[in-house]
Amino acid sequence: MLTVLNSILYFKVSTVQSRPPSEHHIEKRHLLQMCELISKYTNRSCLEYNNYGCFCGLGNTATHTGVDDVDNCCRLHDQCYGQVHCFWFFPQLVGYSINCTSHADCYCSDSPQYASCAYSTCMCDLTLAQCLAQHQYHSAFKNFDRRHCHLLGL
């Protein structure tokens, strides 16, 4: 048993030491990871996107399209989570490994073959952060009254 523990410890230490010094490795619980990615790519707090439009944040009620491109990023993220197969886990609760350089260039480092749930969840979050970075944030849609999503046919 001690040999197994030593092997695991050696693997963990050698894995950490083998990373290039310019990379930042993120390994936390999932919601914090998503927030860190959003912040890294957009220079905004993830809380600024909570309750934005019809899709960003918990409890979205829309079915077709968002109020703007940022909201559509969140819609696509919701759809991405719907495609993730994590057995009995919700993707929102799955942690993953991700590596980032100092210039918001990140990649998911879990194995797509052996940790497909973590890898897929990471890819959904990374795609969201990249999408949000490409579109303008409109403060008028923060705390958007979601009853309007149904009225607008969204």
Ligand-binding annotation for 57, yes or no, is yes
Residue 12 counted as domain residue: no
Q: Is 43 left (phi over 0), alpha (psi -120 to 50) or beta?
A: left
Residue 146: pLDDT band (50, 70, 90) is confident
Judge whether 3 lies within some domain. no
Is residue 16 situated within a structural domain? no
Residue 2: which pLDDT band, with cuts at 50, 70 and 90? very low
Q: Is 82 annotated as a binding residue?
A: no
Model confidence pLDDT, tens digit, residues 33-55: 999 999 999 999 999 999 999 99
At 83-122, the pLDDT tens digits run 898 877 777 778 899 999 877 789 999 999 999 999 999 9
Residue 4 placed within a domain:
no
Residue 56, SS3? strand
| Residue 125 domain flag | yes
Neighbours of 44 (CB within 10 A): 13
pLDDT of residue 58: 82
Q: Is 90 annotated as a binding residue?
A: no
147 within some domain: yes
Q: Residue 35 sits in which domain range?
A: 23-151
Domain count, the chain: 1
Distance CA 26, CA 105 (A): 13
Q: Which CATH number fits the domain that encloses residue 102?
A: 1.20.90.10
71 marked as binding residue: no
Percent composition of the chain: helix, strand, coil (DSSP 3-state, to 5) = 50, 10, 40
Within a domain: 18: no
Q: How many CB atoms lie within 10 A of CB 25?
A: 12
67, part of any domain: yes
pLDDT of residue 32: 87
Q: Which residues does the annotation mark as catalytic?
A: 77, 125
